[in-house]
Structure 1
Amino acid sequence: MVAIGVLAILLLITLPSYMDRIVREQVLEALPLADLLKPPVEAAWRNKQPLPADNAAAGRPAAEKIVNQVVSSVALQDGAIHVTFGNRANGALKGKVLSIRPAVVEDEPIVPVTWLCGNAPAPEKMVAKGANRTDIPNGLLPLRCRAG
């Protein structure tokens, strides 16, 4: 009986961390879809043009056409990429949004764009463009997507 009690306690301790890991892996699985929208944003910045307002302005498929196992849409809005989770995503992610924003050095289009995942802050001397609509709790984000 004692062994069963100890085993139950160990399961209760490890199960939440395992579920968090699954959620973080699903967030990482979504990131390659955003790569489809990055080149037009980078090109616009490099050519001193306004950042694309949406998928159509970037010459990319409609947001709801960019999907995978855990993502239901990938939308571009004023240079920021917003990944919406759905399909077979964990319940903690369904309907949630992860934003991937360009960070730039103002008035220096020769400096490459850096991409910020989720709540990650912009590097020193860089400015993030577009809105951060990330609504996934910080603890469920991969390290590179967390605030500070």
Structure 2
Amino acid sequence: MPSRKTTAGFTLIEILVVLAVIAILLTMAMPNTSHRVAQKQIKESLDLIAPFKKTIADYYLATATFPSNNSTAGLPDADKIMGNYLASVTVIDGALQLTLGNKALPQINGKQVSIRPIYVELSPASPVSWVCGFDEVPAAMQVSGDNQTNVELLQLPISCR
């Protein structure tokens, strides 16, 4: 009687199932980089408005008050201040309210980031500093303007958290 040779191995279906499971696990393990892109877009917008922070600080040093709006601050209308990822900048009580837009990611398009001046009360000669987004105000300082930031925490640059 001839002996039958049995072969051990995997079928094609079994190999495909294992490859599919591995592909799913690898997809879940890949980092989500969209928040890093959002952070870079917001950071670029913050860099764009740096000169306006100096204008507002100079206004405060000259008057001991913060400008109430763009025109008082001597800045262009809100919709005239824009960039790649910035749709407008509105001054409200010295705070710069950035509205994101244009080529910004859909997750942050239309959202706002607040840049607010902080100062030492009753000492207009002290330098004006700034807080961004959800950043905390130091205990001995006061802040002007409201925080209208509505961007998710992970999408903000570290300096705004």
TM-score w.r.t. the length of structure 2 is: 0.82
Letter in 2 for 1:108: S
Task: Report the secondary structure of 2:24's partner residue.
Answer: helix
1:54, CA displacement in angstroms? Answer: 1.2
Letter in 2 for 1:132: N
Listed as ranges, the gaps of 5+ residues in structure 1 are: none
* Distance of 1:80 and 1:100 partners within structure 2: 6
Tell me which structure has the larger Cα radius of gyration.
2
Task: Report the secondary structure of 1:82's partner residue.
Answer: strand
Would the aligned equivalents of 1:33 and 1:74 in 2 still touch at CA under 8 Å?
no
* Distance of 2:138 and 2:26 partners within structure 1: 40
Listed as ranges, the gaps of 5+ residues in structure 2 are: 1-15
Alpha-carbon displacement from aligned partner over 1:66-95 (angstroms, at most 9, x marks no partner):
111111101111100011011111111011
Two-structure CA RMSD over aligned residues (Å): 1.6
Q: Tell me which residue corresponds to 1:93.
A: 108
Would the aligned equivalents of 2:59 and 2:73 in 1 still touch at CA under 8 Å?
no
| Range moving further from structure 2, 73-82 or 40-49 | 40-49
1:10 and 2:26 correspond? yes
Q: Tell me which residue corresponds to 2:156.
A: 141
1:35 and 2:50 correspond? yes
Alpha-carbon displacement from aligned partner over 1:85-130 (angstroms, at most 9, x marks no partner):
1111111101100000000010112221111011101112011111
Task: Report the secondary structure of 2:35's partner residue.
Answer: helix
Q: Counterparts of 1:1-148 in structure 2 under 5 Å?
A: 1=16, 2-15=18-31, 17-146=32-161
TM-score w.r.t. the length of structure 1 is: 0.89
Q: Percent identity?
A: 33
